[in-house]
Structure 1
């Protein structure tokens, strides 16, 4: 996590240095009011976000991100030297929307140093399945609705004819409302199903890297 934070800070420093060395070019460039790009979080490579940004003032822009992510992992293990082979499958799918605003501390929107508050609404489905003797399986599912927000500081550099490179770092929180469903095979009685609900809070670091086009 510290390595990723350092990398993002290096990118921000490089972008600021680039802006300082090419301020004359930026002021003479054709004004751009829209940025469309694809963003990733280096701490979560399974998720991507299609985002759009629109300038609404000399130092203000608003944007919206559409988030999608898929994570799948498989594993296996032998239960003892003569025991059965245990296989597991863990899959997660999530979609969400991320509205935000950016306030530019230097430069003119959509290029320069900015701070950005954002909201997050994410729907996540997780399924964990465990295969045991004679294809018997235990399965658990979690369905979550996550509401949260974050604050980031970052920099947007527009290169050449409109290539937009963005990097940001910050912190955020999420409140998750979860529904757990478990299906367990109990021999010789068949299946036993249970369902419970839960709530949780998470606070974490946010890293943001985006590549797109400004026009």
Structure 2
């Protein structure tokens, strides 16, 4: 019995020594991919809005993330006069958007950050635009500022391809509530240089489908 015990101990020690020899000194053990940085595709092609996303795994079935979006637009138009004598007043519009969206992903299958998930998320965005029309002697201007609060629930799937390419797709519903203020400054018709200034406030809400597609890198 003592000989069998001695033989087993010798075999275990030999196996351990062999394993230690095969591992290079100073080489850390591989870590799981717990962070994803990506770019959302749908806003970029739909509204020409740039949205970057960051996500961090905090548990086997849970991750938290944050999306930041921004957009800048500018357009100028000038219509030809009906009598063909030239062009009418020039009008231009400039807009700026800034938004933030915190989110949570609860994974139903797999292990975060891969698998089937549900994701509740909230959003807050601010949009500001200015329109101007060149009218002699004073131009017409319209300034609009709006705040939008949104909430969405999505069902989707995340996959990591190769060494770290992360692809995420989701679909669901989104509700929005918006409040806006518009200030206008216009030339009064039929007067010699008279100016009319006004302010209007609007409030609206809507619900619509939402599709999300993003690509990024997991590390």
**TM class by shorter-chain length?**
0.7 to 0.9
**Pair 1:40 & 2:41 matched:** yes
Equivalent residue for 1:105, pick from 108, 117, 125: 108
Gaps of 5+ in 1: 1-28
Equivalent of 2:70, from 68, 84, 91? 68
Please name the residue that 2:142 is paired with.
140
SS in 2 for 1:202: strand
SS of the aligned residue for 1:110 comes to coil
Partner of 2:9: none
Q: Which has the larger radius of gyration?
A: 2
In structure 2, the gaps of 5 or more residues are 1-29
Q: Distance in 1 between matches of 2:155 and 2:204?
A: 26
Query: What TM-score, normalized to structure 2?
Result: 0.77
The residue that corresponds to 1:164 in the other structure is 166
Greater relative contact order (CA < 8 Å, ≥ 6 in sequence): 1
Matches of 2:87 and 2:78, distance apart in 1: 11
Q: Which moved more, 1:93-102 or 1:31-40?
A: 31-40
> Residues 178 and 88 of structure 1: is their aligned pair in 2 closer, same or farther, counting only changes over 3 Å?
same
TM-score (norm 1): 0.78
Q: Structure 1 residues 135, 83: CA separation in 2 closer, same or farther (over 3 Å shift)?
A: farther
Distance 1:204 1:74 in 2: 30
Match of 1:191 in 2: 195
Establish whether residue 51 from structure 1 lines up as the match of residue 53 from structure 2.
Answer: yes
